[in-house]
C-alpha cells in the first residue's frame, strides 16, 4: 500500500504533488494558503479493537504510525518521551463518569499536561516531530514557529517546543481575550528562543496576522521572506493527528467497562473554537472508531452552531468576550479541512468557499455537503448557563469543571434527547478549572453551593484579587490540589511585555529573527 501523502485543502484529491509528513510539519501551511490534509485516512489497526492492555504511548504509536511512514523507532521515542513523563495522571487522558443526569455521561479529562489544557496532548509532541522532520529533510537552518492563540495554545507551544535545538517560538495572544493565568503562563516563560507579544484585537486578528505572514513569506514577499517558518497552531497537521488518539483511548476504556451502546457506539461532545479538537474526532470516526454523533458546542460566539443548523457560515458579527475565552473565535480554521472532506476532495471548491469567506464574510455549502456533515449536532451556551452547569456538577459529583467544559456539557445534555439513548455521551474536558478560578468561584457562589456563597460574599475585595490568589482560594474551598503548572507561576516574573497592533507583527518578527536567529541558534 502506498504511503500517505499530504495535500493542500485547495488542491484536488486526484492531483499529484503531495508531500511527505516531514514537509507538512516543517512547512506548517501550504504555499497556496490552504491546510495540509492526508490524501487518505487509514483504517484503525485491528489491534486497537482487541482487549489487550496498552499504555497511552503504545496506543498512540499504533494509531499514528501509518501517518508517519518510515519513522518507526523515532516516532515511538517521541511518543514515549512525552506521554510517559510529562503528564501527571498515569492514564494521561482518563475518563471520569458523572452521576448527574443519570447514567451514560462521561468526562474525557485532557488537562493533566504541563500547562493544564488539552493542547498539551499534541504540543508536547510537536517539538520532537519538528526536529525529526527537519533532520530527515536535511535542514540545518533555524526555524521560527508562529503561533496565534486564544489562550491555551500559546503556553502549550512554548512548553512543548522548549529546548528543541534550532527552533524559535513566537506567540501572539489577544491583549484582552485571555484569562490572567493563561496570559501569565505565556508572559512569564523564559525569553530564550522565544518571543511573546499581546495583540491589540481578538484571536481572529492574531490568526489572520499569522496566516498573512505565512502567505507573504511563501510568496517571497515581506520582511520574513528569508526566514524559515512553521506553525504550532492546529493548522499544522502535526498538531491535529495526535488528537485522534485520545478518542480511541476513551472508547477502549468505555468498552473495557462495558459502557458502550449497541454496535459499540458512543457520542462525543466537544467545546469548540478553532474546530481542530472535534475534527480529530471526525477523523477517528472515518478511520473506523464507532462514534455516532459529534456534538459541536459553542459559546455566545455561535458561528459554528449556526453553520451546522443552516449550512451558512457567517463571520459578519461582533465577537463576544466570554468566560470561555479559548472559544472566542469567529473564523474556525480547521473547518476548512471538514469542507474538503464534504466536497469530496475538490480543492477548487474549497478555495472558492474560502475566497468568498474572505471577501464577503460568509458562504453557504451545498445540499450534498450538508448531508455529509449530518453526523454533527450543534448548539450554543451562554455564560450564565455554563455557570449553572459548573455548580450542578460540583453539587452532584464533587467534580470541578472549567467554563469551556461546562459549555460542552450543557449543550451535550440539552441535545441528548435527540441522540441514540443507549450510547454513552463522552464530553471533552479541555482545561483545568484552576485556569479560570474567578469564573468557577462566581459559578459556585451564584449556584448557592454550600461553603461558597458566604466565602465569596465575605471577600468584598475579590474583584481586586489576582487569578493566582483566586486559584489558591478555589483549591482551598474545594479541597483539591492546585496543579503544579499554575502553582509555579507565583514564583515567576513577567518577562514578555510587548504589545503590538496587527500591522506591526511581521516587522517585529523580522527584528527578532535578525537579532536572535542564526545557523547556530
Q: How many domains does the chain have?
A: 2
* Average pLDDT, integer, range 29-40: 94
20 is a domain residue:
no
- Catalytic residue selected from 119, 285, 302, 473: 119
Q: Are residues 455 and 378 in the same domain?
A: no
Position with higher pLDDT, 308 vs 17: 308
- Do 422 and 327 lie in one domain? The reply is yes
Note the pLDDT tens digit of each residue in 349-376: 999 999 999 999 999 999 999 999 999 9
Query: By residue range, what is the domain housing residue 440?
Result: 434-481
What percent of the chain is predicted at pLDDT more than 90? Answer: 82
For residue 445, being part of any structural domain is answered with yes
437 vs 454, residue with greater confidence: 437
CA distance 299 to 403: 10
Query: Is the domain of 316 the same as that of 440?
Result: no
Residue 398: inside a domain: yes
167-174 β-sheet, strand order: 229-231, 143-148, 167-174, 194-199, 498-500
Output 488 or 460, whichever has higher pLDDT.
Answer: 488
pLDDT in tens, 267-278: 999 999 999 999
The answer to whether residue 444 scores a pLDDT higher than 60 is yes
Comparing 24 with 13, which gets the higher pLDDT?
Answer: 24
Q: Does residue 463 register a pLDDT over 60? A: no
Report residue 393's pLDDT band, with 50, 70 and 90 as the boundaries.
very high
309 and 249 fall within a common domain: yes
Q: Are residues 470 and 405 in the same domain?
A: no
Among 466, 481, 496, which residue terminates a domain? 481
pLDDT of residue 457: 43
101: pLDDT strictly greater than 80: no
Q: With bands split at pLDDT 50, 70 and 90, how would you rate the model's confidence at 235?
A: confident
Residue 263 counted as domain residue = yes
Which CATH number does the domain housing residue 295 bear? 3.40.50.1100
Residue 266, beta-bridge partner list: 291
Statement to judge: residues 421 and 447 lie in one domain: no
Query: What would the grid cell of residue 171 be?
Result: 506567540
Mean pLDDT over 434-439 rounds to 94
What confidence tens digit (pLDDT) does each residue in 480-494 have? 999 999 999 999 999
Q: Is the pLDDT of residue 244 over 80?
A: yes
- Asked whether the beta carbons of 268 and 295 are under 8 A apart, the reply is yes
Residue 451 pLDDT greater than 80, yes or no: no
Residue 270 has a pLDDT of 98
438 and 424 in a single domain? The answer is: no
414 and 300 part of one domain: yes
Lowest-pLDDT choice from 54-58, 87-91, 461-465: 461-465
pLDDT of residue 460: 47
Question: Are residue 423 and residue 442 in the same domain, yes or no?
Answer: no
Same domain assignment for residues 363 and 442: no
- Inform me whether the pLDDT recorded for 218 exceeds 90: no
Reported as a single tens digit per residue, the pLDDT across 172-202 is 999 888 889 999 999 999 999 999 999 999 8
For residue 16, pLDDT over 90 is answered with no
Contacts with 319 (C-beta within 8 Å, 6 or more apart), sequence order = 202, 204, 301, 328, 330
Task: Return d(Cα 349, Cα 252) in angstroms, integer.
Answer: 37
Domain co-membership, 256 together with 361: yes
Would 364 be classed as within a structural domain? yes
Residue 203, domain member (yes or no) = no
Grade residue 152 by pLDDT with cuts at 50, 70 and 90: confident
In-domain check, residue 37: no
> Is the predicted pLDDT of residue 171 greater than 80, yes or no?
yes
The chain-wide mean pLDDT, for the chain, equals 93
Q: Answer whether residue 286 is part of any domain.
A: yes
Check if 103 is active-site.
Answer: no
Output the CA–CA distances (angstroms, integers) from residue 488 to 115, 386, 472, in the order listed.
Answer: 11, 28, 12
Boundary-marking domain end, from 408, 429, 450: 429
43 φ, ψ to 5°?
-65, 145
Assess whether 285 and 335 both reside in one domain. yes
pLDDT band at 1 (very low <50, low <70, confident <90, very high): low
State the alpha helices, DSSP H only, in 317-382: 335-342, 347-360, 367-372
Amino acid at each position: 500500500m502506498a504511503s500517505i501523502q499530504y495535500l493542500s485543502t485547495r488542491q484536488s484529491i486526484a492531483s499529484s504533488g503531495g508531500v511527505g509528513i516531514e514537509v507538512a510539519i516543517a512547512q506548517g501551511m501550504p504555499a497556496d494558503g490552504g491546510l495540509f490534509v492526508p490524501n487518505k485516512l487509514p483504517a484503525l489497526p485491528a489491534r486497537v479493537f482487541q482487549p489487550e492492555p496498552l499504555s497511552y504511548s503504545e496506543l498512540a504509536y499504533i494509531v499514528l504510525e501509518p501517518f508517519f511512514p518510515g519513522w518507526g523507532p523515532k516516532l515511538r521515542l517521541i511518543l514515549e518521551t512525552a506521554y510517559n513523563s510529562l503528564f501527571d495522571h498515569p492514564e494521561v487522558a482518563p475518563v471520569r463518569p458523572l452521576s448527574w443526569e443519570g447514567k451514560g455521561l462521561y468526562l474525557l479529562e485532557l488537562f493533566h499536561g504541563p500547562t493544564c489544557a488539552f493542547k498539551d496532548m499534541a504540543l508536547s509532541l510537536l517539538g520532537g516531530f519538528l526536529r525529526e522532520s527537519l533532520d530527515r529533510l536535511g535542514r540545518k537552518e533555524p526555524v521560527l514557529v508562529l503561533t496565534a492563540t486564544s489562550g491555551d495554545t500559546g503556553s502549550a507551544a512554548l512548553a512543548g517546543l522548549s529546548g528543541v535545538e534550532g527552533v524559535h517560538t513566537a506567540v501572539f495572544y489577544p491583549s484582552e481575550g485571555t484569562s490572567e493565568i493563561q496570559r501569565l503562563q505565556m508572559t512569564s516563560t523564559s525569553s530564550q528562543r522565544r518571543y511573546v507579544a499581546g495583540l491589540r484585537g481578538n484571536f481572529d486578528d492574531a490568526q489572520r496576522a499569522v496566516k498573512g505572514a505565512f502567505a507573504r513569506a511563501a510568496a517571497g514577499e515581506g520582511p520574513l521572506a528569508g526566514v524559515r517558518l512553521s506553525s504550532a497552531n492546529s493548522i499544522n497537521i502535526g498538531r491535529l493527528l495526535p488528537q485522534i488518539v485520545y478518542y480511541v483511548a476513551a472508547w477502549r476504556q468505555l468498552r473495557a467497562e462495558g459502557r458502550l451502546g449497541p454496535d459499540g457506539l458512543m457520542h462525543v461532545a466537544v467545546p469548540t473554537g478553532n474546530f481542530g479538537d472535534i475534527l480529530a474526532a471526525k477523523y477517528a470516526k472515518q478511520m473506523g472508531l464507532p462514534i455516532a454523533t459529534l456534538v459541536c458546542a459553542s459559546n455566545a460566539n455561535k458561528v459554528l452552531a449556526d453553520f451546522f443548523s443552516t449550512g451558512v457560515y457567517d463571520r459578519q458579527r461582533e465577537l463576544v468576550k466570554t468566560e470561555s475565552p479559548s472559544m472566542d473565535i469567529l473564523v474556525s480554521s480547521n473547518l476548512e479541512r471538514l469542507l474538503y472532506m464534504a466536497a469530496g476532495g475538490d480543492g477548487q471548491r474549497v478555495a472558492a468557499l474560502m475566497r468568498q469567506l474572505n471577501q464577503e464574510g460568509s458562504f453557504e455549502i451545498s445540499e450534498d455537503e450538508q448531508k455529509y456533515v449530518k453526523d454533527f449536532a450543534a448548539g450554543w451556551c451562554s455564560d450564565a448557563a455554563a455557570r449553572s452547569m459548573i455548580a450542578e456538577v460540583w453539587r452532584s459529583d464533587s467534580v470541578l469543571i472549567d467554563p469551556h467544559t461546562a459549555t460542552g456539557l450543557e449543550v451535550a445534555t440539552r441535545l441528548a434527547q435527540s441522540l441514540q439513548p443507549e450510547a454513552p455521551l463522552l464530553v471533552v474536558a479541555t482545561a483545568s478549572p484552576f485556569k479560570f478560578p474567578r469564573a468557577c468561584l462566581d459559578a459556585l457562589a451564584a449556584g448557592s453551593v454550600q461553603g461558597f456563597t458566604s466565602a465569596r460574599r465575605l471577600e468584598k475585595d475579590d474583584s481586586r484579587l489576582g487569578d493566582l490568589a483566586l486559584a489558591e482560594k478555589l483549591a482551598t474551598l474545594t479541597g483539591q490540589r492546585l496543579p503544579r503548572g499554575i502553582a509555579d507561576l507565583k514564583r515567576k516574573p513577567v518577562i514578555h511585555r510587548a504589545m503590538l497592533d496587527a500591522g506591526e507583527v511581521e516587522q517585529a518578527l523580522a527584528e527578532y529573527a535578525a537579532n536572535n536567529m542564526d545557523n547556530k541558534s
